[in-house]
Structure 1
Amino acid sequence: MLLNTGEVGVVSQVFPGFPLRPIVRVIKNPAGEELKSPYEIDLRKEMNITIVKAV
Protein backbone atom coordinates (compact mmCIF):
# COMPACT_ATOMS: atom_id res chain seq x y z
CA MET A 1 0.00 0.00 0.00
CA LEU A 2 1.10 3.56 -0.61
CA LEU A 3 1.23 5.89 2.37
CA ASN A 4 0.79 9.67 2.24
CA THR A 5 4.49 9.91 3.12
CA GLY A 6 5.38 8.33 -0.24
CA GLU A 7 6.55 5.13 1.44
CA VAL A 8 5.30 1.70 0.37
CA GLY A 9 4.43 -0.99 2.85
CA VAL A 10 2.47 -4.13 3.58
CA VAL A 11 -0.04 -4.72 6.36
CA SER A 12 1.47 -6.82 9.12
CA GLN A 13 -1.39 -6.68 11.65
CA VAL A 14 -5.02 -5.54 11.61
CA PHE A 15 -6.99 -4.67 14.74
CA PRO A 16 -10.73 -5.54 14.91
CA GLY A 17 -11.80 -2.10 16.11
CA PHE A 18 -9.51 -0.21 13.74
CA PRO A 19 -9.51 -1.90 10.31
CA LEU A 20 -8.25 1.23 8.54
CA ARG A 21 -5.41 1.82 11.05
CA PRO A 22 -3.26 -1.34 10.82
CA ILE A 23 0.41 -1.87 11.59
CA VAL A 24 2.30 -1.41 8.33
CA ARG A 25 5.75 -2.80 7.56
CA VAL A 26 7.46 -0.17 5.40
CA ILE A 27 9.51 -1.84 2.65
CA LYS A 28 10.24 1.05 0.23
CA ASN A 29 11.24 4.65 0.81
CA PRO A 30 9.57 7.59 -1.01
CA ALA A 31 12.11 7.24 -3.87
CA GLY A 32 10.86 3.67 -4.45
CA GLU A 33 14.06 2.05 -3.19
CA GLU A 34 13.75 -1.14 -1.16
CA LEU A 35 14.83 -0.72 2.45
CA LYS A 36 17.62 -2.92 3.79
CA SER A 37 15.97 -2.75 7.21
CA PRO A 38 12.16 -2.55 6.91
CA TYR A 39 10.39 -1.08 9.93
CA GLU A 40 6.84 -0.99 11.24
CA ILE A 41 4.49 1.94 11.77
CA ASP A 42 1.40 1.60 13.98
CA LEU A 43 -1.18 3.77 12.20
CA ARG A 44 -3.30 3.85 15.36
CA LYS A 45 -0.53 5.92 16.98
CA GLU A 46 0.69 7.86 13.92
CA MET A 47 -2.50 9.73 13.09
CA ASN A 48 -0.78 11.99 10.54
CA ILE A 49 0.12 8.99 8.34
CA THR A 50 -2.62 7.55 6.14
CA ILE A 51 -3.07 4.91 3.47
CA VAL A 52 -3.45 6.55 0.06
CA LYS A 53 -4.02 3.49 -2.15
CA ALA A 54 -3.37 -0.19 -2.58
CA VAL A 55 -0.46 -1.00 -4.87
Structure 2
Amino acid sequence: MLEALRVDHGMTPSQIARETGVSRQTLWRLENGESRRPSYETGMAIERAYRARRK
Protein backbone atom coordinates (compact mmCIF):
# COMPACT_ATOMS: atom_id res chain seq x y z
CA MET A 1 0.00 0.00 0.00
CA LEU A 2 2.75 2.50 0.87
CA GLU A 3 4.66 1.77 -2.32
CA ALA A 4 1.55 2.34 -4.44
CA LEU A 5 0.89 5.60 -2.61
CA ARG A 6 4.47 6.74 -3.14
CA VAL A 7 4.39 5.87 -6.83
CA ASP A 8 1.00 7.56 -7.24
CA HIS A 9 2.54 10.74 -5.83
CA GLY A 10 5.48 10.43 -8.24
CA MET A 11 8.07 10.10 -5.51
CA THR A 12 11.15 7.92 -5.19
CA PRO A 13 12.24 6.23 -1.97
CA SER A 14 15.15 8.68 -1.79
CA GLN A 15 12.80 11.67 -2.01
CA ILE A 16 10.60 10.34 0.78
CA ALA A 17 13.66 9.61 2.91
CA ARG A 18 15.01 13.13 2.38
CA GLU A 19 11.69 14.82 3.10
CA THR A 20 10.83 12.74 6.15
CA GLY A 21 14.18 11.95 7.75
CA VAL A 22 13.16 8.28 7.68
CA SER A 23 15.89 5.97 6.37
CA ARG A 24 15.47 4.30 3.00
CA GLN A 25 15.92 0.97 4.77
CA THR A 26 12.98 1.67 7.08
CA LEU A 27 10.85 2.80 4.14
CA TRP A 28 11.76 -0.38 2.24
CA ARG A 29 10.78 -2.52 5.23
CA LEU A 30 7.44 -0.73 5.53
CA GLU A 31 6.71 -0.99 1.80
CA ASN A 32 7.62 -4.69 1.72
CA GLY A 33 5.76 -5.76 4.82
CA GLU A 34 8.83 -6.55 6.94
CA SER A 35 7.77 -3.86 9.38
CA ARG A 36 4.05 -3.47 9.85
CA ARG A 37 3.86 -0.90 12.61
CA PRO A 38 5.91 2.26 12.15
CA SER A 39 6.40 4.50 15.13
CA TYR A 40 3.96 7.37 15.50
CA GLU A 41 6.68 9.83 14.49
CA THR A 42 7.58 7.85 11.36
CA GLY A 43 3.96 7.51 10.31
CA MET A 44 3.31 11.21 10.79
CA ALA A 45 6.45 12.20 8.86
CA ILE A 46 5.41 10.04 5.91
CA GLU A 47 1.86 11.40 6.02
CA ARG A 48 3.13 15.00 6.00
CA ALA A 49 5.32 14.28 2.95
CA TYR A 50 2.36 12.87 1.01
CA ARG A 51 0.02 15.67 2.08
CA ALA A 52 2.56 18.23 0.85
CA ARG A 53 2.40 16.58 -2.57
CA ARG A 54 -1.35 16.17 -2.91
CA LYS A 55 -2.55 16.18 -6.46
- Flag whether TM exceeds 0.5 (same fold): no
Give the TM bin, normalised by the shorter chain.
under 0.3
Structure (1 or 2) with the greater strand fraction: 1
Task: Normalising by structure 2, report the TM-score.
Answer: 0.24
Larger-Rg structure: 1
TM-score by length of 1: 0.24
